[in-house]
Chain A
């Protein structure tokens, strides 16, 4: 399972990096979304893979997953939403002001 998850994170990273290097705004936003998936998963996995032991205290529980990375990632998800929203609106603004959707505001790629 560990190898599979590592592969998954790797693929998400590779896709994110490639799309971030495109020269139009929308693919870059998609790339950032993929990258933030990868980063959130990676941070989350710092608590190692634990199945069926949510960190909710109960008498019958046999153990708990690490709550610290979870709390960290929970806010990270919300903040990356805010970041994505900010960037896409910035892209809209740039498109209006520059007349094109190139990341550097150039007319051609």
Chain B
């Protein structure tokens, strides 16, 4: 496999990850060496196999979509863990940059 040149800024954007210049300088060559290393897989003949995402024989499980009460203590702790809240509601930044109301 050819040497991969990583576009570190594009990748960091995709990953929603801010990296300092120093981190980019460290991570980019490490990533390239990791990709060169794992690229060895290209040599394995997999033309006859189907990819295995899961390795167990487990089948999908279905259940009724019943609404269950949350334990009040669990609920209180989950609310307590919100980084920002209004009353017991989770407060998040708006997702639209411009509003037309």
- A and B associate in one complex: no
